[in-house]
Amino acid sequence: MRKRQSHNKSRRGCQNCKKKHVKCDEQGPPCANCVVRKLDCVYSRKNSPVVAALVVATQSSRSTPAQPKEALPPALTITPEFRRLLELELMHRWSTTTFKSICFVPEEWEYAPHILPRDALQFSYLLDGLFAFSALDLALNSSGDKRDVYLQAALEYYNRSSVAFRPHLDQIADGDINMIYTYSAMAAFMNLVIPECAPETRNPPKMVDRAKMFFSLTLATTQIALAHTRALTKKSLVVRATLESVKNASLEYLTESDRFGLNLLDLVHQQMAEQHLFVASDSDEHGNIPTARPIYQRVTSTLKFAFAEDGRGVINGACLGFSGMVGAEYLAVLDKGEPLALLMLSYWGVLMHRLASKYWWTRGIGKSVVYECSDLIMQSSLSLVPAVQDGIAWTKNQVEVDSLRPLMNEDSLLEGHSLAIRSI
What's the pLDDT band for 17 if we cut at 50, 70, 90?
Answer: confident
User: What is each CA distance from 235 to 79, 173, 179, 243, in whole angstroms?
Assistant: 38, 12, 10, 13
Residue 245, pLDDT score:
80
* Residue 178 · residue 166 · CB < 8 Å: no
What's the pLDDT band for 401 if we cut at 50, 70, 90?
Answer: low
Q: What is the DSSP letter of 170?
A: S
Q: Once rounded to an integer, what is the mean pLDDT over residues 185-199?
A: 86
- Which has the higher per-residue pLDDT, 74 or 320? 320
184 pLDDT above the threshold of 90: yes
Residue 25, pLDDT score:
66
Q: What is the DSSP letter of 27?
A: -
282 pLDDT above the threshold of 70: no
The domain segmentation of the chain, as residue ranges, is 74-245, 248-416
Q: Give the whole-angstrom CA distance, residue 395 versus residue 261.
A: 8
Residue 169, pLDDT score:
87
Collect all residues with Cβ–Cβ distance below 8 Å to 143 and sequence separation of at least 6.
Answer: none
Q: Give the whole-angstrom CA distance, residue 12 versus residue 41.
A: 13
54 pLDDT above the threshold of 70: no
Q: Give the whole-angstrom CA distance, residue 392 versus residue 261.
A: 10
What's the pLDDT band for 24 if we cut at 50, 70, 90?
Answer: confident
- Which has the higher per-residue pLDDT, 376 or 196? 376
Collect all residues with Cβ–Cβ distance below 8 Å to 188 and sequence separation of at least 6.
Answer: 214, 217, 218, 221
Q: What is the DSSP letter of 99?
A: G
* Percent of residues, the chain, with pLDDT higher than 70: 75
Q: What is the pLDDT of residues 116-167, one digit of tens each?
A: 999 999 999 999 999 999 999 999 888 878 888 899 999 999 999 999 999 9
Residue 411, pLDDT score:
46
What's the pLDDT band for 389 if we cut at 50, 70, 90?
Answer: very high
Task: Give the least confident one: 237-246, 274-283, 403-412.
Answer: 403-412
What's the pLDDT band for 69 if we cut at 50, 70, 90?
Answer: very low
Residue 247, pLDDT score:
80
The DSSP-derived string for 226-290 is: HHTHHHHHHH-HHHHHHHHHHTT--GGG--HHHHHHHHHHHHHHHHHHHTT-S-GGG--TTSPPP
Residue 285, pLDDT score:
54
74 pLDDT above the threshold of 60: no
Q: Once rounded to an integer, what is the mean pLDDT over residues 2-14?
A: 55
Residue 418, pLDDT score:
35
Q: What pTM was computed for the model? A: 0.76
Q: What is the DSSP letter of 29?
A: S
- Would you give the distance in Å from CA 291 to the centre of its chain? 30
* Residue 241 · residue 105 · CB < 8 Å: yes
